[in-house]
With several copies, the nearest count.
Chain A
Amino acid sequence: MASELMTMPYYKINVLTGTKAAKVVSEPVEAARIIDKATNPLYVFGAEVIDSLVGDRLLIDFTLEIAKSRNIPICATAHVKKKMMELGVLPDSIYDIIEIVHFLKDKNWMGVRGKGFHDLVLFTGVRCDLAERGLSTLKHFAPHLKTFAICRRSHPNADFAVPVITKTEKWRVYLEGVISELGTVKA
């Protein structure tokens, strides 16, 4: 009865009160499979992707690789765009986190590339407490999509979450694992 188990998120402030909690995706290969299966995914980058180091590389280096490898459009929140441009990448859309969540609630919204609603939304680098609020909104008000919080601190309100990973080294391995496994499953 896996769905009957809830894991505690990294920040206790987000402590679950819910009856519908994330499926914890412990293996990178599972994560890759979830992403591969999506037909119209979106990747939301939060401010932390440009601040946080994973080993000697910025978190955004990894998330960009994930996005690129499956041609996933990127929504840059907060002031992430500036850094992305410095890295020579133009995000597909610019909304603050709450704005993009607001649009995602709407099944009739055409999505950032005009192809209709996104069926999977990945999140990385959003301030954990704020992300948890946004994921809660989507959990309750966007039954047409799944969310995947690719965050080492784990997100109970997402549909899919990474387990708590405290060691940076393991986090790097996880991310690299996802990147290398992506595309191994037919979409």
Chain B
Amino acid sequence: MSKGKIREEEIRRIIRADDEWEPVGPTPMPSLTDLRNWDFRLLDTYEPFYAPFCDLCCLCTFGKCDLTEDKKGACGIDIATQQARWILICSLMGTAAHGAHGRHMIDHLIEKYGEDFKIDLGSQVNVEAPIIRTVTGLKPKNLGDLRKAIEYVEREMIHLVSATHMGQEGNYRDFESKAFHAGTLDHVALEAADIAQIVGYGLPTSIADTPLVDLGWGAIDVKKPTIVVVGHNAITAYAIVDYLRQHDLYDKVEVAGLCCTAHDVTRYDSSAKIIGPLSRQRFFLKAGLADVVVTDEQCVITDIPQMASEAGAAMVACSDKISYGLEEVSAKPVDDILREMLENQKQFLILDSEKAAEVIVRAALALAPLRQERKKLMTKEEASLLSAKCRGTCETCNRACPNLLPVNLAINQARQGDFTKLGSVFLRCIGCAKCEEACVNNIPIQKVMQAAAASDTYKIRAGRGPIHDVEIRKVGSPIVLGTIPGVILFAGCSNFPGDIDDVAWLAEELARRKYIVNLSGCAAMAAAMRKDEDGKTIYEKYIPEFDAGCIVNVGSCISNAHVVGAAIKIANIFATLPNRANFELMADYIINRVGACGVVWGPYSQKALCIGTGAVRWGIPIVLGPHGSKYRRLFMSKKEASDWRVMDGRTKQRVDTQEPTPEHMMLVTETKERALVTIIKQCFRRNDTPPGRAIKLNSYISAYKQVMGSLPDDLQNFIRTEKEIPIVYKREVIAYLKEVGWKPKISLSLPTLIGTYETKVPIEATVK
């Protein structure tokens, strides 16, 4: 369906089109097909790469259908299209998770403060919502406006879900375009949700040096009553903090979090603790250190009720997304609830966050004294004893391990009292418990790891939220010129292929090379888990500003919006291009001129997939760790062989740049070493000035030499003129270029894809 007049007027009304802060661009509140030409333009150069995870389709009862050897399903679908459909399905789970989170947060705050409650992100942030402005054309002023953004997401989403039904979309490119749309909606939701909680709960904004917060399970003072909040929606966690404050209990009770709720609760109150990322949920909960376990939503291990009751802990669920079949008791008196919890170990669902907070705190106070005995970790002796039956030979554990770890050797050594190997397995363990489930001798491997895990306390900086307009003004020019070599965002989950702290290594390698390094979510936590010889984490060593060589924790997963927002702001604030309802103009600017790269080193979730897919549509390349291959789809060029033609914005001529920049839009790399050089390369942009490119190449060469032992094998692709050869490597580079028959290439000052495909955006719009 194409947009009719009435819908167009409705949109103009919703976004207050007559407010003339900027002219309304061509695509306010884009529908499913409005950005399809842009999507197809991207897909022309960056083909989807599919790695089927299953040969079959089992989505309807005509199947299962065998899709090997070019066979089609009963519905006519082929394997490529089926993969793309799957990507859309999974992306929508991500969009919905964030969208529903945003809806909940915004509605909750509207209930508290009304829809006119103002959005004010402090003195440093005037462009408050770059994504919402660009996508919808609305400049949100208050909570009611944020709700409009979510309503837009809800409205679009149903069409996308519909397209996944059997017999709907039949072409992989259109599925990918729809997945991009899901990504865009996701970003709108992210931004709306985080802005809402920032203003509603007074989370940090317009401040760079947020407090340092304690992280690690060793940081929890288990002698206190211990409340552990798990999930990604901190509404109940905030209520717990409020209750503790109101009752002067804050220093008597330990509040600690797992996953993003941990980030957010420490943004609210920096004396809360972060236990760690998703991969530590099971480990920590099995250890039994929590007196009350509180689940909200998203990324919550589903057998928490069972783990809590095995540990003798109380357990409260707080979300309609995760209700565990429990009785909802918001309407019951607190005393009655507590009685049943404490006497009968009953678990409850409590949707009223304030009531939940009271129940949780009082349960923790009541339970803690009774649980002192249980709040102890396994000793090495106990662990050895529990491992007694293992001879390390059957390897059943290994064969079940999704991270391919040598569990057998580790347990066999632990049996003999040596925990070194188990310690290193723990560092790589994603906490799935499949090994212990598989163990022929029923060794409780996750518990045995308690004896091997280091219990350090680490420092992380509390999530700082939006990047400041003034920071953008400062770095805009060097980023676009290329003299700041890139803006990196480490986002996503803890499904790491190697050690949990590899992210710290990558972040530091980049920060030392003067990249602007941002982190969020589980990745931000993992990056805190490495100390230098002085015992400092990267958050203590590096300045928390959005600037070259600095390291920023933006916050929880929904804070990812701010880094995408920063890229938009560069176009909007620094380059003064209008962003209002101007998606293609912004994305075109980013892909050609903003050397940004997202990294999801430990991807597992549909949310991370969706965020990444959305980023690609903005022109931000994504590098994934190996587990990302199981998402089933990447976006890759064929390097020199692909179409690298762009328009020269000044001459309006089509020009073949011959340079694959950015080379891929979504790629998996196998090792962290390879990731390092790939991330660096993904920051190259067509618009780099020769000095800027020289700086980027300098990074690239130095890193490549460090990990690959030679000059980059594709160096010739990225040197356009001799001026771009980094001085330190001049001689060897020139020799190499000669050897491979390098020829100079064109370097444009106004490269743009606008004009290379059918679009409503005039090429003039790219020049400002």
Using A133-B630, A143-B70 as known contacts, say yes or no to A11 and B55 having CB atoms under 8 A apart. Answer: no
The docked-state distance in angstroms from the alpha carbon of A39 to that of B265 is 60
Cβ B56 vs Cβ A99 within 8 A: no
Cβ B80 vs Cβ A141 within 8 A: yes
The docked-state distance in angstroms from the alpha carbon of A105 to that of B634 is 14
Which residues of chain B in 362-403 are interfacial with respect to chain A, using CB atoms and an 8 Å cutoff? 395, 398-402
Residue from the set A103, A133, A139 with the largest chain B CB neighbour count within 10 Å? A133
The docked-state distance in angstroms from the alpha carbon of A130 to that of B630 is 8
Which residues of chain A in 112-150 are interfacial with respect to chain B, using CB atoms and an 8 Å cutoff? 126-130, 133-134, 136-137, 139-141, 143
Chain B: which residue is nearest A106 at the CB level? B638
Complex interface: chain A residues within 8 A of B402 (CB):
11, 13, 129
The docked-state distance in angstroms from the alpha carbon of A129 to that of B63 is 10
Cβ A99 vs Cβ B710 within 8 A: no
Decide if A12 is an interface residue (CB 8 Å cutoff): yes
* CB-contact partner of A140 in B68, B404, B671, under 8 A: B68
Complex interface: chain B residues within 8 A of A19 (CB):
55-56, 66, 68
Decide if A1 is an interface residue (CB 8 Å cutoff): no
Chain B residue total in the interface (Cβ 8 A): 51
Cβ A128 vs Cβ B668 within 8 A: no
Cβ A127 vs Cβ B497 within 8 A: yes
* CB-contact partner of B53 in A47, A93, A133, A166, under 8 A: A133
Cβ A96 vs Cβ B669 within 8 A: yes
A27-35, A75-83, A172-180: which lies at the B interface?
A75-83
The docked-state distance in angstroms from the alpha carbon of A77 to that of B709 is 13
Complex interface: chain B residues within 8 A of A97 (CB):
668, 670
Decide if B613 is an interface residue (CB 8 Å cutoff): no
* CB-contact partner of A79 in B49, B63, B627, B671, under 8 A: B671
Complex interface: chain B residues within 8 A of A82 (CB):
707-710
Residue from the set B51, B401, B402 with the largest chain A CB neighbour count within 10 Å? B51
Complex interface: chain B residues within 8 A of A140 (CB):
50, 52, 55, 67-68, 79-80
Using A18-B56, A19-B68, A79-B671 as known contacts, say yes or no to A134 and B629 having CB atoms under 8 A apart. Answer: yes
The docked-state distance in angstroms from the alpha carbon of A13 to that of B667 is 21
Report A108 CB to chain B, min CB distance, Å: 9
Complex interface: chain B residues within 8 A of A56 (CB):
none
The docked-state distance in angstroms from the alpha carbon of A30 to that of B64 is 31
Complex interface: chain B residues within 8 A of A11 (CB):
398-399, 401-402, 404
Report A17 CB to chain B, min CB distance, Å: 4
Decide if A94 is an interface residue (CB 8 Å cutoff): yes
Report A128 CB to chain B, min CB distance, Å: 6
Cβ A85 vs Cβ B399 within 8 A: no
* CB-contact partner of B55 in A17, A46, A86, under 8 A: A17
Cβ B404 vs Cβ A129 within 8 A: yes
The docked-state distance in angstroms from the alpha carbon of A77 to that of B627 is 17
Report B86 CB to chain A, min CB distance, Å: 13
Cβ A130 vs Cβ B668 within 8 A: yes
Decide if B674 is an interface residue (CB 8 Å cutoff): yes
The docked-state distance in angstroms from the alpha carbon of A144 to that of B260 is 42
Report A87 CB to chain B, min CB distance, Å: 11
Complex interface: chain A residues within 8 A of B111 (CB):
none
* CB-contact partner of A77 in B404, B497, B670, under 8 A: B670
Complex interface: chain A residues within 8 A of B80 (CB):
140-141
Residue from the set B70, B398, B399, B401 with the largest chain A CB neighbour count within 10 Å? B399
Cβ A81 vs Cβ B708 within 8 A: yes
The docked-state distance in angstroms from the alpha carbon of A93 to that of B395 is 36
Decide if B626 is an interface residue (CB 8 Å cutoff): yes
Using A77-B670, A98-B636, A128-B404 as known contacts, say yes or no to A133 and B51 having CB atoms under 8 A apart. Answer: yes
The docked-state distance in angstroms from the alpha carbon of A94 to that of B49 is 19
Using A15-B66, A97-B670 as known contacts, say yes or no to A102 and B636 having CB atoms under 8 A apart. Answer: yes
Which residues of chain B in 194-210 are interfacial with respect to chain A, using CB atoms and an 8 Å cutoff? none
Which residues of chain B in 511-542 are interfacial with respect to chain A, using CB atoms and an 8 Å cutoff? none
Chain B: which residue is nearest A94 at the CB level? B713
Decide if A171 is an interface residue (CB 8 Å cutoff): no
Decide if B54 is an interface residue (CB 8 Å cutoff): yes
Cβ A78 vs Cβ B670 within 8 A: yes
Chain A: which residue is nearest B66 at the CB level? A19
Cβ B709 vs Cβ A98 within 8 A: no
Complex interface: chain B residues within 8 A of A106 (CB):
638
Cβ A13 vs Cβ B669 within 8 A: no
Chain A: which residue is nearest B54 at the CB level? A17
Which residues of chain B in 37-80 are interfacial with respect to chain A, using CB atoms and an 8 Å cutoff? 49-56, 58, 63-64, 66-70, 79-80
Complex interface: chain B residues within 8 A of A15 (CB):
56, 64, 66
Chain A: which residue is nearest B50 at the CB level? A137
Decide if A10 is an interface residue (CB 8 Å cutoff): yes
The docked-state distance in angstroms from the alpha carbon of A126 to that of B670 is 8
Decide if A107 is an interface residue (CB 8 Å cutoff): no
The docked-state distance in angstroms from the alpha carbon of A138 to that of B353 is 42
Decide if B592 is an interface residue (CB 8 Å cutoff): no
Cβ B66 vs Cβ A46 within 8 A: no
Cβ A13 vs Cβ B64 within 8 A: yes
Using A78-B670, A94-B713 as known contacts, say yes or no to A137 and B55 having CB atoms under 8 A apart. Answer: no
The docked-state distance in angstroms from the alpha carbon of A73 to that of B441 is 39
The docked-state distance in angstroms from the alpha carbon of A79 to that of B70 is 35
The docked-state distance in angstroms from the alpha carbon of A77 to that of B713 is 12
Report A109 CB to chain B, min CB distance, Å: 8
The docked-state distance in angstroms from the alpha carbon of A12 to that of B438 is 11
Which residues of chain B in 649-689 are interfacial with respect to chain A, using CB atoms and an 8 Å cutoff? 664, 667-671, 673-674, 678
Cβ B69 vs Cβ A98 within 8 A: no
Report B628 CB to chain A, min CB distance, Å: 9
The docked-state distance in angstroms from the alpha carbon of A10 to that of B399 is 6
Complex interface: chain B residues within 8 A of A98 (CB):
49, 629, 634, 636, 667-669
Complex interface: chain B residues within 8 A of A133 (CB):
51, 53, 629-630, 632
Q: List 30 A-B contacts (CB under 8 A).
A: A11-B404, A13-B64, A13-B404, A15-B64, A18-B56, A19-B55, A20-B68, A47-B671, A77-B670, A79-B671, A79-B708, A81-B708, A96-B667, A96-B668, A96-B669, A97-B668, A98-B636, A98-B669, A99-B664, A103-B638, A127-B404, A128-B404, A129-B402, A130-B626, A130-B629, A133-B53, A134-B51, A134-B629, A139-B68, A166-B395
4 closest A-B pairs by CB: A82-B709, A18-B55, A133-B629, A79-B673
Query: Apart from A96-B667, A98-B636, A140-B55, what are 17 other A-B pairs with CB-CB below 8 Å?
Result: A13-B400, A13-B401, A15-B56, A17-B54, A18-B54, A18-B56, A77-B674, A79-B674, A81-B709, A96-B670, A98-B629, A102-B636, A127-B497, A130-B629, A130-B670, A133-B632, A140-B80
Residues of A bordering B, CB below 8 Å = 10-13, 15, 17-20, 46-47, 77-79, 81-82, 85-86, 93-94, 96-99, 101-103, 105-106, 109, 126-130, 133-134, 136-137, 139-141, 143, 166
